Amino acid sequence: MVGGGVMGSTVAAGLVRAGHPGELITVVGRDAARAAATAADLCTASGTVAEAVPGADVVVLAVKPQDMEVALAQVAEVLAPGTLVMSLAAGIPLAFMKARLPEGTPVVRTMPNTPARVGQGMAALSPDALCTPEQVELARAVLASTGEAVTVPEKQQDAVTAISGSGPAYLFFVVESMIEAGVHLGLPRATATELVVQTLFGAATMLRETGEHPTMLREMVSSPGGTTVAAMRQLEDHKVRAAFLSAMEAAAHRSKDLSDGVVDDD
């Protein structure tokens, strides 16, 4: 694990919780003390990439996008042939990584999200053509240790970024708005918060466990002439559905611009 920050420590902890022996997981970061703190009681800390990478089955790059070029250069110097390399950094294309790693290196681009910190993440992985089925499954297992994971073609990663990568922020925004509405309607803030958070959790659980289409579940709550119908009419009148579509299109376009910029600067 190259990078001992939030995502690196999250994945390391998830792997240990999933039953992977901590002594087989090594964390290395620019800040040795931080890497040691990440590894404490979970796995092994290493001072340098040169010590950690040789002999690894998979190298997970959990660094910020702006630090990726330096991390790739360090890894490339000591990487054994055929070792799988995974990136957790947003917007870093496969081509960028492959250009900086030894020829023939199997590479996986991924897009995790922040709920991984509580074991409820949603991630997407895009392997390159050199990855074996076993390596793709290994990459999927690394991501699944912090939630769920799906495999998508790399060309869909911008859409993934817009939906699940940035998605938690949209939902937090909705939660903020509903809490403020509750306060406006006379509820204590703590009560409004509890009502909204549990309602969101319950609705998500209902979606997952019933397998019903969201439209069907919404209509179950929408009695003719009732309160929900009155509320939904306001949301439609204010074009909330269209606003969500525009927001996610903007996120996807920005993701593509950032990825294209990385390649263009190459």
Q: What residue ranges do the domains of the chain occupy?
A: 6-153, 166-254
Task: Give the percent of the chain with pLDDT over 70.
Answer: 92
CA distances from 251 to 36, 72, 158, 254 (A): 35, 27, 8, 5
**Residue 65 marked in a binding site:** yes
pLDDT of residue 216: 97
How confident is the prediction for the chain on average, in pLDDT? 92
Amino acid, res. 14:
G
pLDDT of residue 34: 57
Count CA atoms closer than 13 A to 8's CA, side-chain side: 28
Calculate the CA 247 to chain-centre distance.
Answer: 18
pLDDT of residue 13: 87
Is 108 a residue whose pLDDT tops 60?
A: yes
- pLDDT digits over 176-235, tens only? 999 999 999 999 999 999 999 999 999 999 999 999 999 999 999 999 999 999 999 999
Compute the distance between CA of residue 149 and CA of residue 112 in angstroms, rounded to an integer: 8
Compute the distance between CA of residue 4 and CA of residue 36 in angstroms, rounded to an integer: 8
Residue 222 contacts by C-beta under 8 Å, 6 or more apart in sequence?
A: 228, 229, 232
**pLDDT class of 112 with cuts at 50, 70, 90:** very high
- pLDDT digits over 12-32, tens only? 888 888 888 888 888 887 655
Is 42:21 a contact under the CB 8 Å cutoff?
Answer: no
pLDDT of residue 163: 98
**pLDDT class of 96 with cuts at 50, 70, 90:** very high
- 53-57, 129-133, 185-189: which range is least confident on average? 53-57
More confident residue, 51 or 121: 121
Say which CATH architecture domain 166-254 belongs to. Orthogonal Bundle (1.10)
- pLDDT digits over 135-191, tens only? 999 999 999 999 999 999 999 999 999 999 999 999 999 999 999 999 999 999 999
Is 36 a residue whose pLDDT tops 80?
A: no
Compute the distance between CA of residue 266 and CA of residue 174 in angstroms, rounded to an integer: 39
**Which residues are 110's β-sheet partners?**
125
pLDDT of residue 23: 81
Task: Give the percent of the chain with pLDDT over 90.
Answer: 75
CATH number corresponding to 6-153: 3.40.50.720
Compute the distance between CA of residue 50 and CA of residue 2 in angstroms, rounded to an integer: 11
Calculate the CA 21 to chain-centre distance.
Answer: 23
Give the SS3 label for residue 242.
Answer: helix
Count CA atoms closer than 13 A to 191's CA, side-chain side: 8
pLDDT of residue 260: 86
Amino acid, res. 78:
V
**Residue 64 marked in a binding site:** yes
pLDDT of residue 171: 98
pLDDT of residue 30: 67
pLDDT of residue 258: 87
